[in-house]
Amino acid sequence: MQLSVIILNYNVRYFLELCLLSVESALINIDSEIIVVDNNSSDGSCEMVKSRFPNLKLIQNNHNVGFPKGNNIGAAEAKGKYICILNPDTVVAEDTFEKVLAFAQKQKKLGVVGVKLIDGTGNFLPESKRGIPTPWVAFTKIMGLYKIFPKSSLFNKYYAQHLSENETGEVEILVGAFMLLKKELYQEIGGFDEDCFMYSDDIDLSYRVLQMGRSNFYFHETVVIHYKGESTVKDGIYMKRFQEAMEFFYKKHFKVSFLFSIFMKIGIIFFSLIKRMQGQVKSKIKAENYLLVSASETLVKIITAAVQKKVDFLDWEAEKEVNLSSNSIRNGLKIVLDNEFVSFKECIEIHERYVNKGVIFRIIPKGTNFCIGSDSSNGRGEIEKFK
Protein backbone atom coordinates (compact mmCIF):
# COMPACT_ATOMS: atom_id res chain seq x y z
CA MET A 1 0.00 0.00 0.00
CA GLN A 2 1.27 3.46 -0.91
CA LEU A 3 -0.40 5.80 1.58
CA SER A 4 -2.22 5.77 4.92
CA VAL A 5 -4.06 8.96 5.88
CA ILE A 6 -4.47 9.25 9.65
CA ILE A 7 -7.09 11.66 10.98
CA LEU A 8 -7.40 12.23 14.71
CA ASN A 9 -10.85 13.52 15.60
CA TYR A 10 -12.32 15.15 18.69
CA ASN A 11 -15.83 16.59 18.57
CA VAL A 12 -15.75 18.09 15.07
CA ARG A 13 -18.35 15.86 13.44
CA TYR A 14 -19.31 18.21 10.56
CA PHE A 15 -15.76 19.29 9.74
CA LEU A 16 -14.71 15.63 9.82
CA GLU A 17 -17.43 14.74 7.30
CA LEU A 18 -16.23 17.48 4.93
CA CYS A 19 -12.61 16.40 5.42
CA LEU A 20 -13.33 12.73 4.74
CA LEU A 21 -15.23 13.53 1.55
CA SER A 22 -12.27 15.55 0.28
CA VAL A 23 -9.76 12.85 1.27
CA GLU A 24 -11.81 10.12 -0.41
CA SER A 25 -11.91 12.11 -3.64
CA ALA A 26 -8.14 12.66 -3.45
CA LEU A 27 -7.33 8.96 -2.98
CA ILE A 28 -9.26 7.50 -5.92
CA ASN A 29 -6.11 6.76 -7.95
CA ILE A 30 -3.86 5.82 -5.01
CA ASP A 31 -3.51 2.46 -3.26
CA SER A 32 -4.42 3.81 0.14
CA GLU A 33 -6.43 3.72 3.33
CA ILE A 34 -8.05 6.20 5.70
CA ILE A 35 -7.73 5.68 9.46
CA VAL A 36 -9.88 7.79 11.75
CA VAL A 37 -8.89 7.76 15.42
CA ASP A 38 -11.57 9.26 17.64
CA ASN A 39 -10.65 10.64 21.08
CA ASN A 40 -13.98 9.84 22.75
CA SER A 41 -16.11 12.43 20.94
CA SER A 42 -19.61 13.11 22.24
CA ASP A 43 -21.01 14.85 19.14
CA GLY A 44 -21.97 11.83 17.02
CA SER A 45 -18.72 11.76 15.04
CA CYS A 46 -18.33 7.99 15.24
CA GLU A 47 -21.93 7.33 14.29
CA MET A 48 -21.50 9.56 11.23
CA VAL A 49 -18.32 7.75 10.19
CA LYS A 50 -19.94 4.33 10.57
CA SER A 51 -22.99 5.28 8.52
CA ARG A 52 -21.39 7.39 5.81
CA PHE A 53 -17.87 5.95 5.53
CA PRO A 54 -18.27 2.27 6.47
CA ASN A 55 -15.18 1.14 4.53
CA LEU A 56 -12.58 3.18 6.38
CA LYS A 57 -10.90 2.08 9.59
CA LEU A 58 -12.33 3.68 12.74
CA ILE A 59 -10.52 3.41 16.06
CA GLN A 60 -12.54 4.60 19.07
CA ASN A 61 -10.63 5.58 22.20
CA ASN A 62 -12.54 5.49 25.48
CA HIS A 63 -11.02 8.82 26.59
CA ASN A 64 -9.15 11.77 25.12
CA VAL A 65 -5.57 10.48 24.90
CA GLY A 66 -4.21 13.68 23.30
CA PHE A 67 -2.77 14.46 19.88
CA PRO A 68 0.54 12.53 20.04
CA LYS A 69 -0.82 9.26 21.42
CA GLY A 70 -3.93 9.40 19.23
CA ASN A 71 -1.84 9.70 16.07
CA ASN A 72 0.59 7.05 17.27
CA ILE A 73 -2.34 4.66 17.72
CA GLY A 74 -3.40 5.31 14.14
CA ALA A 75 0.14 5.01 12.76
CA ALA A 76 0.57 1.63 14.46
CA GLU A 77 -2.33 0.33 12.35
CA ALA A 78 -1.13 1.94 9.09
CA LYS A 79 -0.18 -0.30 6.17
CA GLY A 80 1.05 2.36 3.78
CA LYS A 81 4.66 3.05 2.81
CA TYR A 82 3.88 6.70 3.53
CA ILE A 83 1.62 8.12 6.20
CA CYS A 84 -0.06 11.51 6.26
CA ILE A 85 -1.05 13.05 9.58
CA LEU A 86 -4.08 15.19 8.74
CA ASN A 87 -6.32 17.37 10.89
CA PRO A 88 -10.07 16.76 10.67
CA ASP A 89 -10.73 20.47 10.04
CA THR A 90 -8.99 20.43 6.65
CA VAL A 91 -10.07 20.24 3.01
CA VAL A 92 -7.69 18.76 0.45
CA ALA A 93 -7.84 19.09 -3.32
CA GLU A 94 -8.46 16.11 -5.57
CA ASP A 95 -4.81 16.06 -6.65
CA THR A 96 -3.18 16.94 -3.31
CA PHE A 97 -1.83 13.51 -2.40
CA GLU A 98 -0.72 12.68 -5.94
CA LYS A 99 1.33 15.88 -6.10
CA VAL A 100 2.84 15.51 -2.62
CA LEU A 101 3.74 11.86 -3.14
CA ALA A 102 5.38 12.61 -6.50
CA PHE A 103 7.48 15.30 -4.81
CA ALA A 104 8.34 13.11 -1.82
CA GLN A 105 9.51 10.24 -4.00
CA LYS A 106 12.12 12.47 -5.64
CA GLN A 107 13.85 13.39 -2.36
CA LYS A 108 16.95 11.45 -1.26
CA LYS A 109 16.90 12.13 2.48
CA LEU A 110 13.22 12.75 2.94
CA GLY A 111 12.01 13.91 6.30
CA VAL A 112 8.55 15.47 6.50
CA VAL A 113 6.62 17.24 3.75
CA GLY A 114 4.13 19.98 4.55
CA VAL A 115 1.92 21.98 2.20
CA LYS A 116 0.57 25.47 1.71
CA LEU A 117 -2.27 25.99 4.18
CA ILE A 118 -4.95 28.68 4.01
CA ASP A 119 -7.70 29.43 6.51
CA GLY A 120 -11.43 29.58 5.88
CA THR A 121 -11.14 33.16 4.60
CA GLY A 122 -8.49 32.24 2.01
CA ASN A 123 -5.58 33.82 3.89
CA PHE A 124 -2.22 32.05 3.97
CA LEU A 125 -1.35 30.47 7.31
CA PRO A 126 2.28 31.36 8.09
CA GLU A 127 2.72 28.34 10.38
CA SER A 128 2.74 26.23 7.20
CA LYS A 129 6.52 26.69 7.35
CA ARG A 130 8.59 27.56 10.40
CA GLY A 131 12.08 27.55 11.84
CA ILE A 132 13.33 25.88 14.99
CA PRO A 133 12.02 28.00 17.89
CA THR A 134 15.37 28.40 19.61
CA PRO A 135 15.30 30.88 22.52
CA TRP A 136 16.36 33.67 20.16
CA VAL A 137 13.84 32.76 17.45
CA ALA A 138 11.09 32.51 20.06
CA PHE A 139 12.10 35.96 21.32
CA THR A 140 11.75 37.46 17.82
CA LYS A 141 8.29 35.90 17.58
CA ILE A 142 7.06 37.07 20.99
CA MET A 143 8.37 40.60 20.39
CA GLY A 144 7.01 40.75 16.83
CA LEU A 145 10.44 41.45 15.33
CA TYR A 146 9.74 39.09 12.41
CA LYS A 147 7.04 41.54 11.26
CA ILE A 148 9.30 44.58 11.53
CA PHE A 149 12.26 42.95 9.74
CA PRO A 150 10.73 40.29 7.47
CA LYS A 151 13.76 40.13 5.15
CA SER A 152 16.42 39.97 7.84
CA SER A 153 17.85 36.48 8.44
CA LEU A 154 18.44 37.54 12.03
CA PHE A 155 14.73 38.07 12.74
CA ASN A 156 12.70 36.13 10.14
CA LYS A 157 13.38 32.53 11.06
CA TYR A 158 10.22 31.77 13.06
CA TYR A 159 8.03 31.63 9.95
CA ALA A 160 10.85 30.55 7.61
CA GLN A 161 10.55 33.79 5.67
CA HIS A 162 13.54 32.89 3.53
CA LEU A 163 10.85 31.18 1.43
CA SER A 164 7.77 32.94 0.14
CA GLU A 165 4.41 31.22 0.53
CA ASN A 166 4.57 30.36 -3.19
CA GLU A 167 8.03 28.83 -3.14
CA THR A 168 8.92 25.21 -2.41
CA GLY A 169 12.03 24.49 -0.38
CA GLU A 170 13.64 23.13 2.76
CA VAL A 171 12.35 24.33 6.10
CA GLU A 172 12.94 23.15 9.64
CA ILE A 173 9.52 22.88 11.26
CA LEU A 174 6.14 21.85 9.82
CA VAL A 175 2.67 21.96 11.29
CA GLY A 176 0.75 18.89 12.45
CA ALA A 177 -2.33 19.79 10.37
CA PHE A 178 -0.62 18.11 7.38
CA MET A 179 2.56 16.08 7.70
CA LEU A 180 3.55 13.43 5.15
CA LEU A 181 6.49 11.11 5.78
CA LYS A 182 7.52 7.50 5.36
CA LYS A 183 6.04 5.15 7.93
CA GLU A 184 9.50 3.64 8.39
CA LEU A 185 10.85 7.04 9.48
CA TYR A 186 7.88 7.64 11.77
CA GLN A 187 8.59 4.33 13.49
CA GLU A 188 12.33 4.98 13.63
CA ILE A 189 11.89 8.23 15.57
CA GLY A 190 9.17 6.74 17.76
CA GLY A 191 6.34 8.87 16.39
CA PHE A 192 5.03 11.81 18.38
CA ASP A 193 6.34 12.21 21.93
CA GLU A 194 3.43 11.17 24.15
CA ASP A 195 4.80 13.15 27.09
CA CYS A 196 3.46 16.23 25.31
CA PHE A 197 -0.35 16.32 25.28
CA MET A 198 -0.59 18.76 22.37
CA TYR A 199 0.68 22.00 20.71
CA SER A 200 4.46 21.46 20.55
CA ASP A 201 4.29 17.86 19.31
CA ASP A 202 4.70 18.78 15.64
CA ILE A 203 7.66 21.04 16.44
CA ASP A 204 9.28 18.24 18.43
CA LEU A 205 8.75 15.62 15.71
CA SER A 206 10.05 17.93 12.97
CA TYR A 207 13.12 18.75 15.06
CA ARG A 208 13.92 15.11 15.80
CA VAL A 209 13.68 14.30 12.09
CA LEU A 210 16.27 17.02 11.39
CA GLN A 211 18.54 15.58 14.06
CA MET A 212 18.58 12.33 12.07
CA GLY A 213 20.06 14.12 9.08
CA ARG A 214 16.81 14.24 7.11
CA SER A 215 15.38 17.24 5.26
CA ASN A 216 11.92 18.69 5.84
CA PHE A 217 10.15 20.43 2.98
CA TYR A 218 7.46 23.03 2.48
CA PHE A 219 5.63 22.18 -0.76
CA HIS A 220 3.57 25.04 -2.19
CA GLU A 221 2.14 23.38 -5.32
CA THR A 222 -1.00 22.18 -3.61
CA VAL A 223 -3.20 24.16 -1.24
CA VAL A 224 -5.18 22.80 1.71
CA ILE A 225 -7.81 24.65 3.73
CA HIS A 226 -7.20 24.42 7.48
CA TYR A 227 -10.06 25.96 9.41
CA LYS A 228 -8.00 25.88 12.65
CA GLY A 229 -9.01 25.67 16.26
CA GLU A 230 -12.12 23.54 15.75
CA SER A 231 -11.12 21.02 18.40
CA THR A 232 -9.89 23.63 20.86
CA VAL A 233 -11.73 26.30 22.81
CA LYS A 234 -9.22 29.01 23.72
CA ASP A 235 -10.00 29.03 27.44
CA GLY A 236 -7.97 28.65 30.63
CA ILE A 237 -7.27 24.98 29.91
CA TYR A 238 -5.94 25.94 26.47
CA MET A 239 -3.61 28.51 28.03
CA LYS A 240 -2.31 26.03 30.57
CA ARG A 241 -1.62 23.34 27.95
CA PHE A 242 -0.02 25.83 25.59
CA GLN A 243 2.38 26.97 28.31
CA GLU A 244 3.16 23.39 29.29
CA ALA A 245 3.82 22.46 25.67
CA MET A 246 6.35 25.23 25.10
CA GLU A 247 8.08 24.52 28.39
CA PHE A 248 8.19 20.84 27.44
CA PHE A 249 10.01 21.59 24.18
CA TYR A 250 12.61 23.87 25.79
CA LYS A 251 13.36 21.52 28.66
CA LYS A 252 13.74 18.62 26.24
CA HIS A 253 15.97 20.24 23.62
CA PHE A 254 17.65 23.36 25.01
CA LYS A 255 19.75 24.34 27.97
CA VAL A 256 18.80 27.84 29.01
CA SER A 257 19.69 30.05 31.94
CA PHE A 258 17.38 30.57 34.89
CA LEU A 259 16.80 34.22 33.93
CA PHE A 260 15.98 33.29 30.36
CA SER A 261 13.58 30.58 31.61
CA ILE A 262 11.74 33.22 33.64
CA PHE A 263 11.63 35.54 30.62
CA MET A 264 10.31 32.77 28.37
CA LYS A 265 7.66 31.82 30.93
CA ILE A 266 6.43 35.42 31.03
CA GLY A 267 6.53 35.53 27.22
CA ILE A 268 4.59 32.28 26.91
CA ILE A 269 1.91 33.56 29.30
CA PHE A 270 1.67 36.81 27.33
CA PHE A 271 1.53 34.93 24.02
CA SER A 272 -1.16 32.52 25.25
CA LEU A 273 -3.23 35.46 26.55
CA ILE A 274 -3.10 37.00 23.08
CA LYS A 275 -4.20 33.67 21.60
CA ARG A 276 -7.09 33.52 24.01
CA MET A 277 -8.24 37.04 23.12
CA GLN A 278 -7.89 36.27 19.42
CA GLY A 279 -10.16 33.28 19.87
CA GLN A 280 -12.90 35.57 21.17
CA VAL A 281 -12.78 37.94 18.19
CA LYS A 282 -15.76 37.64 15.87
CA SER A 283 -15.72 38.33 12.16
CA LYS A 284 -16.62 41.90 11.25
CA ILE A 285 -18.20 40.78 7.97
CA LYS A 286 -21.98 40.50 8.08
CA ALA A 287 -23.56 38.34 5.40
CA GLU A 288 -26.20 40.50 3.73
CA ASN A 289 -26.38 38.68 0.40
CA TYR A 290 -26.01 35.06 -0.62
CA LEU A 291 -24.61 33.66 -3.86
CA LEU A 292 -25.13 29.94 -4.43
CA VAL A 293 -22.61 28.41 -6.82
CA SER A 294 -24.26 25.18 -7.95
CA ALA A 295 -26.28 23.62 -10.77
CA SER A 296 -29.34 22.97 -8.65
CA GLU A 297 -32.05 25.61 -8.78
CA THR A 298 -34.03 23.58 -6.24
CA LEU A 299 -31.27 24.22 -3.71
CA VAL A 300 -31.81 27.97 -4.13
CA LYS A 301 -35.36 27.60 -2.78
CA ILE A 302 -34.18 25.42 0.13
CA ILE A 303 -31.50 27.90 1.21
CA THR A 304 -33.80 30.89 0.74
CA ALA A 305 -36.36 29.31 3.05
CA ALA A 306 -33.65 28.52 5.62
CA VAL A 307 -31.90 31.91 5.73
CA GLN A 308 -34.90 34.11 4.92
CA LYS A 309 -32.82 36.20 2.55
CA LYS A 310 -32.49 36.60 -1.18
CA VAL A 311 -30.15 34.02 -2.69
CA ASP A 312 -28.58 34.74 -6.07
CA PHE A 313 -27.71 31.77 -8.27
CA LEU A 314 -24.70 31.00 -10.45
CA ASP A 315 -25.16 27.89 -12.57
CA TRP A 316 -21.67 26.37 -12.33
CA GLU A 317 -22.23 23.85 -15.12
CA ALA A 318 -23.50 26.44 -17.57
CA GLU A 319 -21.50 29.54 -16.65
CA LYS A 320 -18.44 28.25 -14.78
CA GLU A 321 -16.09 30.62 -12.99
CA VAL A 322 -15.71 32.98 -15.92
CA ASN A 323 -18.86 34.68 -14.67
CA LEU A 324 -18.25 34.39 -10.92
CA SER A 325 -16.54 37.77 -10.64
CA SER A 326 -19.35 39.39 -12.61
CA ASN A 327 -21.80 38.38 -9.87
CA SER A 328 -20.95 41.50 -7.87
CA ILE A 329 -18.18 40.21 -5.58
CA ARG A 330 -18.66 42.72 -2.78
CA ASN A 331 -18.58 43.27 0.97
CA GLY A 332 -21.10 41.19 2.83
CA LEU A 333 -21.49 38.52 0.13
CA LYS A 334 -21.65 34.92 1.33
CA ILE A 335 -20.47 32.59 -1.44
CA VAL A 336 -21.98 29.13 -0.91
CA LEU A 337 -20.14 26.46 -2.92
CA ASP A 338 -22.12 23.31 -3.68
CA ASN A 339 -19.61 20.45 -3.68
CA GLU A 340 -22.06 18.34 -5.68
CA PHE A 341 -20.97 20.41 -8.70
CA VAL A 342 -17.93 22.43 -7.53
CA SER A 343 -14.85 20.27 -6.95
CA PHE A 344 -12.78 20.62 -3.78
CA LYS A 345 -9.91 22.00 -5.81
CA GLU A 346 -12.22 24.64 -7.31
CA CYS A 347 -13.54 25.49 -3.83
CA ILE A 348 -9.98 26.06 -2.60
CA GLU A 349 -9.07 28.14 -5.65
CA ILE A 350 -12.12 30.37 -5.13
CA HIS A 351 -11.12 30.91 -1.49
CA GLU A 352 -7.68 32.05 -2.64
CA ARG A 353 -8.91 34.16 -5.55
CA TYR A 354 -11.37 36.24 -3.56
CA VAL A 355 -9.41 36.53 -0.32
CA ASN A 356 -9.76 39.91 1.43
CA LYS A 357 -12.65 40.96 -0.81
CA GLY A 358 -15.05 41.24 2.12
CA VAL A 359 -16.79 37.97 1.30
CA ILE A 360 -17.60 34.90 3.39
CA PHE A 361 -17.08 31.37 2.08
CA ARG A 362 -19.16 28.29 2.81
CA ILE A 363 -19.02 24.77 1.36
CA ILE A 364 -21.97 22.40 1.13
CA PRO A 365 -20.38 18.92 1.34
CA LYS A 366 -21.76 16.49 -1.20
CA GLY A 367 -24.82 14.61 0.04
CA THR A 368 -25.43 16.81 3.11
CA ASN A 369 -27.99 19.39 4.20
CA PHE A 370 -25.58 21.90 5.74
CA CYS A 371 -22.92 24.40 4.74
CA ILE A 372 -19.72 24.92 6.67
CA GLY A 373 -16.87 27.38 6.91
CA SER A 374 -14.92 29.73 9.15
CA ASP A 375 -14.61 33.50 9.12
CA SER A 376 -11.45 33.75 11.22
CA SER A 377 -8.35 31.63 11.75
CA ASN A 378 -8.55 32.51 15.45
CA GLY A 379 -12.14 31.48 16.09
CA ARG A 380 -14.32 28.45 15.67
CA GLY A 381 -16.19 27.73 12.46
CA GLU A 382 -19.83 28.06 11.49
CA ILE A 383 -22.32 25.38 10.47
CA GLU A 384 -25.70 26.24 8.93
CA LYS A 385 -28.35 23.56 8.37
CA PHE A 386 -30.89 23.93 5.60
CA LYS A 387 -33.55 21.37 6.49
Kind and range of the H or E run holding 171: strand 169-171
User: What's the rounded mean pLDDT across residues 304-331?
Assistant: 80
Higher pLDDT, 161 or 197: 161
In this structure, of 232-241, 280-289, 346-355, the range with the lowest mean pLDDT score is 232-241
Q: What is the mean pLDDT of the chain?
A: 88
Q: Give the confidence band of 371 by pLDDT, cuts at 50, 70, 90.
A: very high
Q: Which amino acid is at 380?
A: R
Residue 205 has pLDDT above 60, yes or no: yes
Q: What is residue 333's three-state secondary structure?
A: strand
Higher pLDDT, 40 or 266: 40
pLDDT of residue 142: 72
Tell me the per-residue pLDDT of 101-114, one tens digit each, with 9 for 90 and over: 999 999 999 999 99
**CA 177/CA 112 separation, integer angstroms:** 12
The share of the chain scoring above pLDDT 90, in percent, equals 67
pLDDT of residue 44: 97
User: What's the rounded mean pLDDT across residues 144-171?
Assistant: 92
| Residue 306: C-alpha distances to residues 334, 340, 362 (Å) | 14, 19, 15
Answer for the pair 26, 94: CB distance below 8 angstroms, yes or no.
yes
Higher pLDDT, 127 or 229: 127
pLDDT of residue 229: 59
User: What's the rounded mean pLDDT across residues 30-43?
Assistant: 98
Higher pLDDT, 102 or 322: 102
pLDDT of residue 163: 96
pLDDT of residue 133: 82
Answer for the pair 367, 373: CB distance below 8 angstroms, yes or no.
no
Tell me the per-residue pLDDT of 162-183, one tens digit each, with 9 for 90 and over: 999 999 999 999 999 999 999 9
Buried b (16+ CB within 10 A) or exposed e, 213-239: ebbbbbbbebbbbbbbbbbbebeeebb
**CA 266/CA 277 separation, integer angstroms:** 17
Higher pLDDT, 274 or 233: 274
Tell me the per-residue pLDDT of 275-310, one tens digit each, with 9 for 90 and over: 566 555 555 566 678 999 999 999 999 999 999 888
pLDDT of residue 140: 82
In this structure, of 35-39, 100-104, 198-202, 228-232, the range with the lowest mean pLDDT score is 228-232
